[in-house]
Amino acid sequence: MNPLLPFEWVVAIRFLREGRMQTLFILVGIAIGVGVIVFMTAMLAGLEQNFLKRVLTSQPHVQLLPPDQIARPLRDIPGVIEDPVVQRPSQRIISIDQWRKIVAAARAMPDVAEVSPTTAGSVLASRGDASRSVTMSGVEPETYFNIVRVPDYIVAGQPRLTSEDVIIGTELAKDLGASVGDKLNLRAASGATRVLTISGLVDLGNKSANQRTTFVALRTAQSLLGIIGGATTIDITVRDIYAAETVAQEIEAAQRVEADSWIKTNAQFFTAVQAQKNTNLLIRVFVALSVAFGIAAVLVVSVIQRSKDIGILRAMGTRRGQVLAIFLVQGGVLGFLGSLAGSGLGAAALVYWHAMARQADGSELFPLILEQSLFIETALLATLTGLVAATIPAVRAADLDPVVAIRG
């Protein structure tokens, strides 16, 4: 008997050694279950991060807009007949009222990470005989590029935006036959024009967006659209992306603006992310249940097989609590050792799948995310599952009458 280990541990380990085949089978079963949990959790976390990166690095988490312009019917005016049909007026490009105050208030919110004003509108981009209608976004690059990662999508040139520069989408560049360093003429609906130099080409991963996207300096857009000192939208990123809708509602309630969060504008995508999380949770629950039943079944058989041994231990003075602890220790040890083997198995399978699974362009399908917390949580879950699964067999062993157990 090892003097360094408590009596309960010595007996529990001896029982596990003597039933080597049973112990081996349950360890393999736990390892496979834990491996599935580690593999699925890490892979789905990588896929989720990849989806969020593609969606949220090309758009703000929250966007503030001026209230819709609506037609109001005349009422209570003598001699005026009210038209029963009120048509919605066309939406003109207008600035958000007191937008600087709103920006300052948003920056003061603890959940907000970055705020940037934007002036956007439709203009005609032309070069030679070719012309296209595009969406021009006037931005402050030092803040806006922290919200929409334009530098990460630059495929040619530089993400430079001075008063003389313009960044355009790759598909627009093809349509106009333009490249970095060429001149581009932008004409607004009011007739105002500006000739700018193409400083960079951006690929946002969407052909339609690449055909209509242009970025210019904020003052350049304000001048072209005729709203000097104005901002048509305010873009915001938040620290917790899943709190975007809550932040949007808070701002909308406090300011005279409309607030759209990425959750609201990408409802189907958000639903898909939530469904993926729920699927991962269900997988973990059912795998944990299968592991628990496996451990319980093995320990129940062990109690039946070792009834005489348990009876002898009780007759020699072993307390009921010690017998209970013996089988709880077995369940905990099985769960812990199985989690170690399973974590290594799941991590190895994930590394292999990450290396093999590729997108059509050869890039990785999902980023490889192996966080230490995942292995710690899985080990705790498996150990706890082993303890819970061992509870019923342990109680049954502790309740055995020594005389009846010895007689068989």
The domain boundary, picked from 256, 290, 317, lies at 256
Whether the pLDDT of residue 72 is over 90: the answer is no
The domain boundary, picked from 197, 222, 256, lies at 256
Q: Considering the domain boundaries, does residue 265 fall inside one?
A: no
Same domain, 157 and 22: no
Same domain, 279 and 364: yes
Mean of pLDDT values over 191-196: 92
Q: Considering the domain boundaries, does residue 287 fall inside one?
A: yes
CA dihedral of 138, 114, 244, 211, whole degrees rounded to 10:
30
Q: What is the mean pLDDT of the chain?
A: 83
Q: Considering the domain boundaries, does residue 156 fall inside one?
A: yes
User: Which amino acid is present at 257?
Assistant: V
Same domain, 339 and 236: no
Same domain, 151 and 201: yes
Give the span between the Cα atoms of 311 and 348, in whole angstroms: 45
Q: pLDDT for 378-390, tens place per residue?
A: 888 888 888 887 7
Number of separate domains in the chain: 2
Same domain, 151 and 223: yes
Give the span between the Cα atoms of 64 and 67, in whole angstroms: 9
Phi, psi of 322 (to 5 degrees): -70, -40
Give the span between the Cα atoms of 381 and 273, in whole angstroms: 24
Which of 112-121, 158-167, 204-213, 364-373 is predicted with the least confidence, judged by mean pLDDT? 364-373
Q: Considering the domain boundaries, does residue 159 fall inside one?
A: yes
Same domain, 133 and 221: yes
Same domain, 184 and 281: no
Q: pLDDT for 112-166, tens place per residue?
A: 999 999 999 999 999 988 899 999 999 999 999 999 889 988 999 999 999 999 9
Cβ atoms within 10 A of the Cβ of 1, count? 8
Structural domain that includes position 167 = 99-256
Q: Considering the domain boundaries, does residue 83 fall inside one?
A: no
- Yes or no: say if 40 and 360 are a contact pair by the CB < 8 Å rule: no
Give the span between the Cα atoms of 175 and 195, in whole angstroms: 18
Q: How far is CA 162 from CA 167, 195, 196, in A?
A: 10, 13, 10
The domain boundary, picked from 233, 256, 279, lies at 256
Answer positive or negative: Cα dihedral of 347, 348, 349, 350.
Answer: positive
Same domain, 160 and 274: no
Q: Considering the domain boundaries, does residue 133 fall inside one?
A: yes
Same domain, 290 and 174: no
Per-residue confidence (pLDDT) for residue 118, from 0 to 100: 94
